[in-house]
Structure 1
């Protein structure tokens, strides 16, 4: 009996040892397991893929997919502002240039007058002097062709005039003397008359109402004006020299005190840039030399506008 108890006791001890060993092994395995919770997927190095989104999470819109509000971006606003403040470039037309000035005297003025005469705008013969009569004709031309009406010949006016007229001949620019004065003063229509017009700046030698010869003349300045009216030649001096100014006065024909019709070398050289001391200056020596031989003492002189 005693042996049976001992055997049973040993068997119980062995079973207890086995059970204890099994329990210890189970705790070790449990302790090595990861803490319970949601699993975190691992990323593959260099793959560039994002972790899988949680299907339960609400979707979040990316910045690129946000709806447009219609407001311009800062860059666009700055560009629009710069464009708005930038002034547009404008091309200004240069002002017209005067190519033939009023008060001038030249061959080009004769050409101007001859071209205006072709159009019926200049009723006198070309004198080469750009005075009031020529300016009036220029204004009429400018008005006709819808150009700025100034009475001055600008480059635009000159180009237009040349385009509608032909090149005048020398005969048209320097016509015969009989055509020198378009309209004679009534006092010049009878007898032998030195008919002198301040308007056209011409002297016409008129015999019996017919113009025999004509020539350009100039007059005194505002301080020594040439007298106007009806006079007569009271003295002639072919090689006269002024006793007051000590200057030559060839072919002098006196008609009012010390005032005379005579040749002027200064007029021939400078034209209308100068003036006399009251005399009627002639610049064509050949014409006044011929006139001097024809005029007689007592012949009438008429000076008028």
Structure 2
């Protein structure tokens, strides 16, 4: 065997690596090897290097609705009505001045009393109507406008005009029991109380009596005790400046009499509606002084 043959045999024995995947076409059980052509490879589409221009989509701006202001309806302002300075039931020194000023113009013909009753009310109404000042309600009250107009047309009353001395009554018109000493002489006929000292009338004021169910007793009495701020324990009502003369009956100030006049009645007492007058009388009367209630 030559060297060339031995080399060839050795080459065959050593060529057994896994790199040979093909089988012998003639070996039994070995499927024939099909020679496949090259597998086609898909060619990728070239990517654009520059993005196409974008057409701007027109956008509608969002508008926030502005609320329409609702017109506010303001009611026409009504000027406040000034409170009355004086009206029916008032009792004061200013009422005396009012009456005196009305008297200067001929609207009030009586002596000033300081009490605002129906006579004063009618006088004020006449003055207001004469000068176009009548209030809508027709109450006859004195408004600031009425008072200012009246003062502009009159002068300041004197003290004597506002506090005139009461007309002296003739001695024969007084109850004889009132002619001596100190006496509160109360007449149911004239509905007045006269303060009489030694037969001379020093003061006089309107009074009111009890009803037919609680009449004021008549006769000669004497003041038993005085109580400036008295309150009735029976009726629980104030009885200022009370001067008792017969049991529970007394001469005293009555706010009800001042407000309602003779529309009401007492429970037997002698009511006075002029507070200033009864306050002055209270300071002059003493326990033991006479009280004469008569017709």
TM-score (norm 1): 0.46
Q: State the structure with more CA Rg.
A: 2
What is the TM-score when the length of structure 2 is the normalising length?
A: 0.48
